Structure 1
Amino acid sequence: MILSQGIAGNILQHAEKFAGLNLDVLDLAWHELDRGVLRKFTQSGQEIGIRNLSGTVLRNGDVLYTDSYACIVVKILPCLCLVIQPKNKIEMAGVCFEIGNRHLPIAIPAADEVLIAYEEPLRMLFMKRGITVHVEERTLEQTQTLKIHTWTRKTKFKITLAKTVHESFVDTSAD
């Protein structure tokens, strides 16, 4: 078994660094990307143990192991998703509230699109409320998801929403 202690780079961003190496692909589901410890098999059958204690979320193309001959690269598997394109800000707020109320990770890849892993009860709720929901195979990257793992009275920050998603920010210095 190969042991990986972290990310050695990203083949999509630095292809020249890994040129000439044999690629072995490690397929991961979206919910496995932020695990601290993981044990899986690559497409070629090589067993790999991942110890990612830095808390860095794995991304498509991350290289978990490399030597002079080969490298093991992360590939995020597509999954069935609910794709919601709210008509206005009020509908967007309602959609996000319902998803957040269920403590589900939410992905917002564009200003007018919300993705979550498929949940039939949520799909039925949105349809009942007249919100258009499409079911599609998509790749959910954790870099696009919002979630809070722990919330305590000591957690202090303020989220400021602007007219566009790209202008919004989280102020960690707020009381």
Structure 2
Amino acid sequence: MKTSVITTERLNLREMGKEDAPLLQEIFSDPVAMKYYPSIKDEKQTLDWIEWTLRNYENYSVGLWIVEDKDTGEFLGQCGIVPQEVDGEIVMEIGYLFARRVWGNGYATEAAAACKHYGFEQMNLSKIVSLPDVNNIPSTKVAERIGMKVEKTIHKWGKKVFVYSVSKEGEIK
């Protein structure tokens, strides 16, 4: 059993491991779910993704986490906090990618909000970003629902992406 990092009302976010490759393949092999990524991922690319995640755990104490239904343990997707470079600076991004069969249930928003809280409360971050493709309306809506605002548009990963951000000060009411 992998370590649980965050739990919410409906979700359990836990550390990822190599044994999760078949679960992640549900998303990575789906051209619709991967529309805003450069391409779908094969098994080796999925294992490379997991290795990248494990290095993030080691180097930054965060990364993408497997998201499961808290009651059933069913795999839903992945969400977490990952380091990204924006304008030459390393910033922490909330990233999310869910299985298409569970889209529209609010899981991405619930998981992303929990990651935002974790970033501010557990990691003491002053600012968190999200970097959705400018055409990925569902992902931009998740960023907006958790209180992020568009800061700017940048060119990253060979395309235009929004830099959504929220600061800890803006959260304190």
Q: TM-score range by the shorter chain?
A: under 0.3
Per residue, is there more helix in 1 or in 2? 2
Q: Which has the higher contact order (CA 8 A, sep 6+)?
A: 1
TM-score calculated relative to the size of structure 2: 0.22
Of structures 1 and 2, the larger Rg is shown by: 1
